[in-house]
A and B are shown apart, each in its own frame.
Chain A
């Protein structure tokens, strides 16, 4: 006999309440700018009933939902029928942050356009728990202002985190972020999903915006005070852009990490250097790491990047991290001391480069909190060294990175920074490099060499002026030979002296 198509309540188990209202069940696609769900609903339903289903699926409150079909807003009292909503059609959904109709509140906590009211909004997102529990929830239309905290950054990025936060009923912004972080830690795919989201990418490709957000974070501001390099970096749009690109591209990051790992294992074979590096890193790594950690709270990405002590996953987000130029010049087989000193210097250089934040190349700490971890891993740095010695091309790459160059230059010109940074970043222990004046000098010289070497703005004579004077005061009167030795050793006086002595048959 004729049966109602699909209206038998016993059959439609998952659409019971809908079936009870009579009418066929239809599948309607509900689409937000970043999400899409198919919802089963009775075709006779009212818009209010439809919203009920939607609110469950999208984990948003019913009064936050705005439905649009064929250019019209669906009012609660309307029926689906009256708008012609049938099986297989698509309804657009906008989830508002608050049901109020005022423009300010509905758009709050979303990443604002740079300047203007950005401070207002980004502060809301920056970790000051806003009064409304849902204040940091952005609808599907935009990421919330996220400060440098990785968790914060990501928690803004879309329905996932926000809705989850809603679901958990937490009224505390920080709590939500924590939860978000935990979720992320357990699910790296979520991260890459988030990263791939065009909205995220949009936001990330806007360096001004990113900078605003970062600067709005009080913790970040503290960091910036301690380490002027960070503000330098933040002010460099080129750098930000590169950072963002890397943040966006998990594949590239993984690539970096793999390279690091490889180089790591190779580096162990360098005689003497390994131990020196190991020491260096342990001295510098721990204090920095804990300093960074306390600033950024839990590092949600440590899980992503591998444990801090282990894999040495060093996603140096920017290729620049890897190819530090070979500080020992052409003579690869120079003395251990040389190498040790050079490694130290390089280490410290990198350390200073890292600006004692988890990641210099990625001040945001997004995804590159692992970078920070990696940097502090002995294995990570070792891989760097190895790569340097193995692959001159890397050096080229690094030097060609615009910001790297300017970073080097500014560091070179301002040796105070270089010498300040290690102590600043390792308040609880003295980094060996920082404490050792001769090594400090070496660092400076190296920096000068990096900066100078990439652009040749200074002749070796100028750069090694001081060393030349010292050498001649010591009795090495052959200026030419002195200069050559200095160049070969990268400005290391002791090593240069050895060279000179060793080659003094005449």
Chain B
């Protein structure tokens, strides 16, 4: 039942919250709760620092990540807030296509928000993406 999955879910998300605050990882992605008062730990914010030697370099990409009630059994829902031209991200609204990101397409419950963000960053470094022309910095999706 949904209730039975809550405890492990929340426990897991609290761990992720703590990791986000402690800067676990290499410092190229960051994540945290959208609203610190969100007791359901559902709505998260992520940040990806554009990788060097790509067109994304030095830009910061803000994302929204939503961890549903069945997380981590099901993958989170991810969308870019900062406008970006990247294969697998819808041009109109920044929604990330689950099929385009292998961490989402082949989600495992040992994955985490960090894993997803890091993979998106890796995608920016792929040959097919690293030189795509980008919208002016600072623009965000409005819908």
Chain A: residues with CB nearer than 8 A to chain B?
29, 31-33, 66, 68-73, 84, 88-92, 94, 96-97, 101-103, 106-107, 110-113, 116, 138-139, 141-143, 199, 203, 206, 209
Q: Is the CB of B130 within 8 A of A94?
A: no
A117–B44 CA distance with the chains assembled, in angstroms: 36
Q: A33-B49, A72-B47, A199-B52 are in contact. Are A141 and B137 (CB under 8 A)?
A: no
Structural contact, A209 and B53, CB atoms closer than 8 A: yes
Complex Cα distance, B130 from A281, in Å, reads 48
Is B47's CB under 8 angstroms from A90's CB?
Answer: no
Q: Is the CB of A31 within 8 A of B36?
A: no
8 extra interchain contacts, Cβ-Cβ under 8 A, other than A68-B30, A89-B21, A142-B58?
A66-B60, A70-B33, A71-B32, A72-B30, A92-B27, A102-B137, A103-B59, A106-B58
Instruction: Verify A72–B32 contact, CB threshold 8 A.
Output: yes
> Once the chains bind, are B55 and A103 in contact (CB under 8 Å)?
yes
- Give B76 Cβ to nearest chain A Cβ, in Å: 13
- Decide if B30 touches A71 in the complex (CB within 8 Å): yes
Which residues of B are found within 8 Å of A33, using beta-carbon distances?
A: 26-28, 49
Known interface pairs A31-B27, A92-B30; A141-B49 also in contact (CB < 8 Å): yes
B79 within 8 Å of A (CB atoms): no
Interface Cβ pair total, 8 Å cutoff: 111
Interface pairs (16), CB distance under 8 Å = A66-B60, A68-B47, A70-B33, A73-B47, A89-B21, A90-B21, A102-B137, A103-B55, A103-B137, A107-B58, A107-B59, A141-B49, A141-B52, A142-B58, A143-B52, A206-B53
B134 touches A103 (CB 8 A): yes
In the bound complex, what is the Cα–Cα distance between A49 and B72 (angstroms)?
A: 38
Closest beta carbon of chain B to A58's beta carbon, Å: 13
Contact residues in A for B93 (Cβ distance below 8 Å): none
Assembled-state Cα–Cα distance A292/B51 (Å): 36
A379 to B50 alpha-carbon distance, docked (Å): 49
Give the docked Cα–Cα distance between A72 and B21 (Å).
11
Taking a contact as CB atoms under 8 Å apart, the answer to whether B54 and A92 are in contact is no
Q: Annotate B22-36 by CB proximity to A: 1 below 8 A, 0 otherwise.
A: 110011101111001
Majority SS of interface residues in chain B? Answer: loop
Asked if A141 meets B46 with Cβ closer than 8 Å, knowing A32-B27, A33-B27, A89-B21, the reply is: no
Q: Which residues of chain A have C-beta atoms less than 8 A from B90's C-beta?
A: none
Q: Which of A68, A88, A91, A139 touches B58 (beta carbons < 8 Å)?
A: A139
Please indicate the chain B residues that have their CB under 8 angstroms from the CB of A209 in the complex. Answer: 53
A203: B residues at CB distance < 8 A: 53
In whole angstroms, what is the CA distance A33 to B44 when docked?
A: 22
Chain B residue contacts of A97, Cβ below 8 A: 58
Contacts of B30 in A (CB 8 A): 68-72, 92
Q: Are B137 and A70 in contact (CB under 8 A)?
A: no
B138 on the A face (CB < 8 A): yes
Q: How many chain B residues touch the partner (CB < 8 A)? A: 36
Closest to A72 in B: B45
A84 and B23 form a contact (CB under 8 A): no
Which residues from A are CB-within-8-Å of B27?
31-33, 92
Does the CB pair A101–B36 fall under 8 Å?
A: no
Give B24 Cβ to nearest chain A Cβ, in Å: 8
Contact B47 A101 (CB under 8 A): no
Q: How close is A200's CB to chain B, nearest CB, in angstroms?
A: 11
Inter-chain CA distance A419–B108, complex, in Å, is 64
**Contact (Cβ within 8 A) A71 B58:** no
Question: Closest CB of chain A to B120's CB: distance in Å?
Answer: 13
B103 CB → nearest A CB, Å: 17
Q: Tell me if B53 and A110 are in contact (CB < 8 A).
A: yes
B22–A111 contact, CB under 8 A? no
Asked if B20 is at the interface of the complex by the 8 Å CB criterion, the answer is yes
Task: Give bound CA distance, A68 to B53, whole Å.
Answer: 21
CB-nearest residue of chain B relative to A203? B53
In the bound complex, residues from chain A placing their C-beta under 8 Å from that of B23 are: 29, 31, 89-92
- A94 contacts which chain B residues (CB < 8 A)? 49, 58, 60
Closest 5 CB pairs of A and B: A70-B32, A90-B23, A142-B52, A71-B45, A107-B57
Contact A70–B131 (Cβ < 8 Å):
no
A66 to B62 Cα, complex, angstroms = 13
Contact B33 A73 (CB under 8 A): no
Q: Contact between B21 and A69 (Cβ–Cβ < 8 Å)?
A: yes
Q: List the A side residues contacting B20 at CB < 8 Å.
A: 70-71
Which chain A residues border B55 with CB–CB below 8 Å? 103, 107, 113
In the docked arrangement, what's the CA distance between A141 and B36, Å? 29
B43 CB, nearest partner CB in chain A, Å:
11
B37 to chain A, nearest CB (A): 10
Q: Which of B21, B51, B58 gathers most chain A CB within 10 Å? A: B58
> Closest residue to B54 on the A side, CB-wise?
A113
Contacts of A71 in B (CB 8 A): 20, 30-32, 44-47, 62-63
A488 to B: closest C-beta gap in Å: 54
- Measured between alpha carbons, how far is A450 from B33 in the docked complex, in Å? 66
Chain B residue with minimal CB distance to A31?
B27
**B26, B33, B53, B136 — most chain A CB neighbours (10 Å):** B53
State A91–B47 Cα separation when bound (angstroms).
12
Give every chain B residue within 8 A of A112 (Cβ-Cβ): 53
- Within the assembled complex, what's the spacing in Å between the Cα atoms of A111 and B53? 6
A136–B63 Cα distance when bound, in Å, is 30
**What's the minimum C-beta distance from A239 to chain B, rounded to whole angstroms?**
21
Q: Which chain A residues border B44 with CB–CB below 8 Å?
A: 71
User: Which of B33, B52, B60, B137 is in CB contact (< 8 Å) with A111?
Assistant: B52
